[in-house]
Amino acid sequence: MTSGVVVTKSSPVVVRPSELELATLPPVGDTTVALPSFDRRVPPFSVTSLLVFDRAIDKPVETIKAALSRALAHYLPIAGRLDSGAGIITCTDEGVTCDLEDAMAAAPHQTEDLALYYPGLLCRDANPLLLVQVTEFACGGFTVGVTSNHIVADGMGTAQFLHAVAEVTHGVSPPSIVPVRHWDDGADYSSLTASPAISTPRSTIELEARQRLARVDVVIPSSLIGRIKAAEHCTVLEAFMAVLWRCRTRAVTSHAADGSDRPALLNFASIGQLVRLIRRAKEKVPELLLPGKPGGGGGAVPPEQVSRWYEMFNVTDWRNLGLHAVDFGSGVPARVLWHNERTAVPFCVVCPARRKGTGTGDDDGVDVSSRFLKPEHADAFLAELAALAIGGVTRSNEKIRRWVVFPCACAACLLCS
């Protein structure tokens, strides 16, 4: 707990599927779900999202906890446990972990306190597949932090489940969308082994994680994105990826002590050149997914790429997952953030746009949450981004920094910081 903040925090509780809700449903046949080939090849890593609501609902902690229990009755695998050896999820009804917290004072507070995390970088079979923390603020706003094992649901699946929880809070049951197990076709997956593309780096994941990557979350001004789109006739995705790539490369190169982290070829590349490189790379994706291709359907990642983990970074786009439309009773979130405590590889997430009318002045910018920089490179990255934005919207290094610490124990400050 940060000094000066009065936090009332209860012990985590286990939320199981509602017995009353289960009684209204037909009996469950098979209690196991066979994992598809993708989830057998990918390590059980966690993903954390933070939904920020600046409008109050009545008793958010009790309301969401009760709705979570009822929704789990329709999504039994989420309340189960992973058996990675057998490649299945067993519907054990052991439940998910839910934490309840009240932040009552106006003082600095770390955003890392707003979600639960797994003890290790990878989830273990005994861990719940879902962790939920509801934090209520004195102003009436609240946040919902959701950490899940990616094997039980991807981004769209997690959003679908949260919509089901939200529908229950509105009195809708059963939810309008329930899981359909298209993949559970009785096929024999026993001979399927982990891809070399995953098993090679997996052995070094915990070692690399010791080097904590800095949390650097920014808003890329829409004026900058607009200038690039107009000049290069590209998509928003291509534009902001080029911005991130250029600024990160220049920051890392200018501060590298021994040259080991230098992707020097791109140090002086223009934004236009990077956009064209990104576009060509996107065109090659279908071919890379064919069996036997490196990083694709069973091919191995070259060892030199594993050892050069910091020279590349991953980008994923959350703008169309549906997280921005979850409504527990007071409207949709003002903001949605990627909120992982740590990551095995440099990673950044394009977050959904802030809800219009939050009064931040950045409603039409591109929000990016990242852990893709070593701490010693973070300030140089922010300076590069601020310099690149000049010509559209001028920002100082401190102005462009976002979301690292918000100034009071108030949900609204996640909007104005």
Please give the Cα distance from 266 to 103 (Å, whole number): 45
Residues with catalytic roles: 150, 327
Calpha distance 359→197 (Å, rounded): 45
Measured between alpha carbons, how far apart are the two ends of the chain, in Å? 20
Strand ranges for 274-365 from DSSP E: 314-317, 335-338, 347-350
Structure tokens at 339: 């909120």
DSSP 223-261: HHHHHHHHHH---HHHHHHHHHHHHHHHHHHHH-SSSTT
Which H/E stretch holds residue 384?
A: helix 375-389
Omega within 30 of 0 (cis) for the link into 174: yes
Cα 267 to the center of its chain, rounded Å: 28
Angle at 237 between CA 235 and CA 240, to 5 degrees: 110
Strands, E assignment, 18-95: 32-34, 46-53, 81-83, 88-90
Instruction: Please count the residues of the chain.
Output: 417
Distance CA 244, CA 377 (A): 13
Rg (CA), the chain: 22
Residue from 367, 380, 329 nearest 165 by CA: 329
- Phi/psi of residue 223, nearest 5 degrees: -65, -40
Q: What is the largest CA-CA distance in the chain?
A: 65
Residues facing residue 148 across a β-bridge: 47, 130
Q: Which residues pair with 336 in a beta bridge?
A: 51
Report the distance separating Cα 392 and Cα 272, nearest Å.
17
Q: How far apart are alpha carbons 226 and 239 in whole angstroms?
A: 9
